């Protein structure tokens, strides 16, 4: 699926999420990804069911910090365990989990509004 929006200068936008990967700022990446306004990196998580607080450490190191983390769970939204949601909240990370397509679209909207957002994405 293609995603088009107004791209603020210097911001990383998600151009699309083809099967098994993501296109960010014109470059195609395969596998799970972390994306934030100034960059992107592979994410060391293959299944959303295996998500632990330690998988979000790279997000906590983003400087300047992000306001919200969007977790793209894959083709369908997965309700994260309440204990993990509490740990994420206590770590100071504002988070919302949704299907990956919704996370990509929401990330682009937030970035186009000048917000500090990051996306942790499992491919569809």
The parent domain of residue 26 ranges over: 14-121
Q: What is the pTM of this model?
A: 0.90
pLDDT reported for residue 1: 54
CA distance 36 to 29: 15
Residue 88 or residue 10, greater confidence: 88
CA distance 105 to 83: 27
Residue 9 or residue 83, greater confidence: 83
Secondary structure letter of residue 32 according to DSSP: -
pLDDT reported for residue 4: 52
In whole angstroms, how far apart are CA 121 and each of 9, 50, 62, 74?
23, 13, 16, 7
Burial class (CB in 10 A: 0-12, 13-18, 19+), 79: exposed
pLDDT band at 32 (very low <50, low <70, confident <90, very high): very high
- The residues near 50 (Cβ < 8 Å, ≥ 6 apart) are none
pLDDT at residue 100 above 70? Answer: yes
- Residue 7 resides in a domain: no
Residue pair 120/104 in contact (Cβ under 8 Å)? The answer is no
Domain count for the chain, please give it. 1
CATH number at residue 78: 3.40.1230.10
- Residue 26 resides in a domain: yes
pLDDT at residue 6 above 80? Answer: no
Range 101-123 average pLDDT: 97
- Residue 6 resides in a domain: no
């Amino acid at each position: 699926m293609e995603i088009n929006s107004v791209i603020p200068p210097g911001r990383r936008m998600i151009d699309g999420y083809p099967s098994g990967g993501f296109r960010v700022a014109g470059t195609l990446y395969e596998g799970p990804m972390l994306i934030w306004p100034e960059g992107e990196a592979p994410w060391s998580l293959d299944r959303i069911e295996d998500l632990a607080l330690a998988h979000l450490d790279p997000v906590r190191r983003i400087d300047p910090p992000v306001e919200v983390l969007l977790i793209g769970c894959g083709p369908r939204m997965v309700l994260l365990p309440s204990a993990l949601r509490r740990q994420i909240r206590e770590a100071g990370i504002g988070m919302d989990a949704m299907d990956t397509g919704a996370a990509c679209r929401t990330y682009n909207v937030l970035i186009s509004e000048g917000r500090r957002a990051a996306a942790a994405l499992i491919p569809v």
